[in-house]
A = this chain, B = another copy of it.
């Protein structure tokens, strides 16, 4: 193995990840994920099929305006329909309309699928691959060919599955990717089939692997192909994807870089992988398991007396790599995860004069640790984190104050259903306003009343809406008096932001997150409105 040899990484969170149960990306979510993947330095970002719906085409139009530092955006589609020319197939045309540098085309490599699902002849399918790839190459695109179900196809009819690869290569495809679409293949079969494909095509640098985790082998299967010389891997950063998910890049990239000495990311980016994976999970509204390899909050935590003791004596005794290399930490706390440089970077967005060594940076880190020990978590809750920094820097003035509130949930005598209502009294610029509202449950009632009171002063709150609301119980052992963490996602159509609140009282935690959300909106609007005077 050559040291520092490059492995090309393709992330398909925006396409295969979007197919996962429980995931539903808004346009803003997609742009946020695009930025996070580019920030990490992923080579290729595969997004949706521009022909499948107008929203996806809108994404490609907006994505063009993003200045990506490292990543190349790819549109995704299938081979052309039978019996029409590629140039006349609307789906293929929309791939060109997306105006990306490259496209990913999937084609059938399993004879069963060709006959039973696609319902064309084996020959016709090969023609469809050939014509589609040729047409896109003629139009100047970088073409990645995904051989869907390659491994199942190889078991059933090896010759046919290999001929699908060959025809794509001959038609000019820049990458040939072997897919374990159903995710049920073991590493030994992956290795045998991949070796045969490699021998038949003779182009290791153009070979890629795409695996799914249905039998918990996605990482091992990817590695089996890399060991044979494949230099292009596909997966999703957090492992999201159809059914059991795709190969998890946040597990694979650290193993490839730290243990096998390949280069996957630009220099210095590996230590961002923990925080950026968590960011994508927050945007996706998916709770990552604490025990995820490398990046999980428990991945380097030690509980057993003996293990903790061993780690103190000599770290490698119970740690396979240094957690700092992937931006994770033995002590779990977020402040240490992020590190001083990352926090300084965030501070500098608000005040560019503050350095890493400035006393306020240290005070801020100390307070952050204290808040985290109390159950706060700012991963993803960027808006609350910004407000927290502003408050510490003294660059903050409260725009409104909740003077008092009262939320009532009741089930009156004689009634068959319960109801919730709330009143809130706010103080803005010396002026009081009181409003009441009903809601589905106490939090919804309070949200409604608070906005009603504030809209009197800030009509722009009309555009703002809560797009998501999450509750997590932090310490399950204290039963109904356990602390809860509330995460709120807000949007005004243009921007998307997330805020957090923590309390033993769910109403109070929600109040904190709602207040931050509204303040963040108002400060942003104010800054844009009075840009000339700042």
Which residues of A approach B to under 8 Å, CB–CB?
Answer: 19-22, 24, 112-113, 116-117, 149, 181-184, 186-188, 213-220, 223, 227, 239-245, 248, 251-252, 254-255, 259, 285, 287, 289-294, 296-304, 307, 309-310, 313-314, 316-321, 332, 402-415, 418, 420, 425, 439-444, 447, 465-473, 476-477, 479-482, 484, 488-489, 503-508, 510-511
Contacts and interface: CB of A to CB of B under 8 A. Distances in A.
A471 B220 CA distance: 35
A442 B215 contact: no
A411 B420 contact: no
A216 B21 contact: no
Nearest to A301: B21
Contacts of A183: 320
Contacts of A113: 310, 317
A469 B441 contact: no
B508 A480 contact: no
Contacts of A332: 21
A425 B413 contact: yes
Contacts of A406: 408-412
A313 B244 contact: no
A480 B447 contact: yes
Contact of A465 (B402, B469, B479, B488): B479
A244 B402 contact: no
B482 A314 contact: no
A510 B444 contact: no
B476 A285 contact: yes
A102 to B, nearest CB: 22
A252 B216 CA distance: 8
Nearest to A303: B19
28 contacts: A20-B303, A21-B301, A24-B477, A117-B314, A182-B320, A214-B294, A214-B320, A215-B219, A239-B291, A244-B292, A244-B299, A287-B287, A403-B413, A404-B412, A404-B415, A405-B410, A406-B410, A407-B410, A418-B507, A420-B507, A440-B504, A441-B507, A441-B508, A442-B505, A443-B506, A471-B471, A480-B488, A506-B506
Contact of A473 (B259, B310, B415, B471): B471
A242 B442 contact: no
Contacts of A182: 316, 318-320
B321 A184 contact: yes
Contacts of A294: 214-215
A470 B481 contact: no
Contacts of A313: 116-117
Contacts of A440: 480-481, 504-505
Nearest to A22: B290
A503 B320 CA distance: 45
A281 to B, nearest CB: 11
Given A220-B187, A298-B243, A317-B117, A215 B293 contact: yes
